[in-house]
Amino acid sequence: MPGLPDAVVPVALAADLVVLTLVDGSLHVLAVRRAEAPFIGRWALPGGFVREGESAQRAAERELAEETGLGSRVHLEQLASYSDPARDPRGRVVSVAHLALVPADDAPPEAMRAGGDAAEVAWLPVTDDGSTAEPLAFDHARILRDGVERARAKLEYSALAAAFCEEEFTVGELRRVYDAVWGVRLDARNFHRKVTGARGFLDPVGTTTTRDGGRPAALFRRGPASTLNPPITRPPEPD
């Protein structure tokens, strides 16, 4: 490494993705089946190595586009980095994990580009404790848990929930995001009042839809506010 001290050890930098969505009203994570050693045949989080001249953020955006075909309409943020020297048997690989949220039932796995080295792509259901039924490769179970926890926490005080919805959505659809991610059932009436009352959170479109059945519901877009005040509070766990 020219210009740097001799003792500096080179590492490979990877950008991995925790891509969450809702399938049939429950939380799912995007996974690829590994076609190569190590962990061949195991499910893993999508990701890849950061290229020359690329930041981890840009690499994550690129991987996300490659894997899902979705360009924008996705929320993407850095989650954390994982640098345990033993986390990858091939050598010193440091992963910058990112959290992505994509709209419900968008980008079904069949429609995904099977490009690159991904042999098989699927939405795996996420359990209440933030894990999958089948074990994940590397330390990806840990990364997934951190991602799910982050998503759950941020729903409370941020406008993140709308990232799971289409561009235009109803209050009911938004509420079902909270129900699914938190595993609760919020009161539809109070939820309605709360989110429509929070300034800057929802932009009324003016039109209505009956796609959810029942009485026509007003359509909204995400408003300019990124934080939600007062927050939507998660119901306390029963003691």
Peptide bond into 38 cis (omega under 30): yes
**Binder among 2, 189, 224, 239 for DNA (CB under 7 A):** 189
For residues 91-124, one letter each, b for 16 or more C-beta atoms within 10 angstroms of the residue's C-beta and e for the rest, the string is eebbbbbbbbbbbbebbebeebeeeeebeebebb
Using alpha carbons only, give the angle 32, 91, 18 rounded to the nearest 5 degrees. Answer: 30
Q: Is 115 in the site for a copy of itself (CB under 8 A)?
A: no
190 binds, among a copy of itself, DNA, none (CB under 5 to 8 A by kind): DNA
Q: Is 84 in the site for a copy of itself (CB under 8 A)?
A: yes
Residues with Cβ within 8 Å of 200's Cβ and at least 6 positions away in sequence, in order, are: 223, 224, 225
**Binder among 25, 35, 51, 193 for a copy of itself (CB under 8 A):** 51
**Size, binding site for a copy of itself by CB under 8 A:** 33
List the structure tokens of 234: 């998660």
Q: Is 206 in the site for DNA (CB under 7 A)?
A: no
The answer to whether 181 touches 163, Cβ cutoff 8 Å, is: no
226 binds, among DNA, a copy of itself, none (CB under 5 to 8 A by kind): none
CB of 15 to DNA, least distance (A): 37
| Helix H or strand E encompassing 103 | none
- Residues that bind a copy of itself in the complex, under the rule CB under 8 A: 1-5, 7-13, 49-57, 78, 80-81, 83-85, 90-94, 96
- Residues that bind DNA in the complex, under the rule CB under 7 A: 170-173, 187-190, 192-194, 196, 208, 210, 212-218, 230, 233, 235
